[in-house]
Structure 1
Amino acid sequence: MDQQKLRALVFEKTGVKIDVDDPVFALVALNEAVLEEAVERHIARIDAASQTLVEHAVHAGPSHHHGHESHPPGYVPTPSAGVVRPIATQTSPITPRELRLLGAAAGIALASALIVLGGQAAFHKSGLTPEQAQALQKAEKLEQALQKLDPKLRAQLPAELQK
């Protein structure tokens, strides 16, 4: 999993910047593990079905052939429909175990996000010096006072301030 590539993709699609140590990457790792397990399970099923198909084809080969037809070397007749079981292609999209894992991952991600946001709120400082904070308060008071002035006088102020 290329975290930098995932970060760039998330930013392109949502405009949200995430850091490589963001808890969301734990959820991505968990999702990869669940997906890998599901894929391995499906590959094992396909391999077993393929092996069964080969075994049936071998047993239905030339040694069980009745009649006097001649066939080229390596010819294996197609077994009848009753001999070969169809390969299972339909399965439940999410097993109960996968559903529990996804639920746990979602819960962990939500709890992690709440902890991070709570920590940021608890330790966030405005980053302003006392002088800057005081200047902002003064500017707010001036803005309130300007709003109380006559509209004509208020319109003249920007020109006077440019001088």
Structure 2
Amino acid sequence: MDQQKLRSLVFEKTGVRIDIDDPVFALVALNEAVLEEAVERHVALIDAASLELAQQARLAGGLAPLQAGSHKAAVLDATNEPAAAAEPPATPSAYAPAPAAGAVRPIATQSPAITPRELRLLAAAAGVSVLSALLVLGGQAAFFKPAPPPAAVIQAQALTPEQTLALQNADKLNKAIQKLDPKVRTQLQAELQK
């Protein structure tokens, strides 16, 4: 397992940088070990089946079957010609796989888009997120009450001396207008409103 090659491959495909000390490499090593064991089992099964097939081919071709303890018998290759083997051929009993502990289930080739377990997890996550949101909103409502806006306070400002004098003159003028003749008074008020 070339860790540098795996790191660069992961970065190219996902943009995620992983370190050599990352626990994901432990999972990769575990996966390799499990895969190697499974491959060895399958190779042993295939070898045993091919030896059995070779025995049947020998019998069908009129040749004598291989003896279980005999290492001197010729091994047939794919061309059905005896091959000169440097080491003695293995017997089918040498490759017998360990019996399965229980019934072997077939490997599923397709899975549903969302499994029931994933649906339960999604429902639990949605419930937790709703409860968290309610908790946050409740906390904000309890602890962060906004202060009421200040009441508008209107204060009378002190009048300047000019303004005070103008008001006194306006009072005198109003009293003087009231003493005039009603005809002149209406003409004067009409002129003031222009």
* The two structures share one fold, judged by TM-score above 0.5: no
TM-score when normalising by structure 2:
0.33
The structure whose RCO (Cα within 8 Å, separation 6+) is larger is 1
Structure with a larger share of its residues in helix: 1
TM-score when normalising by structure 1:
0.39
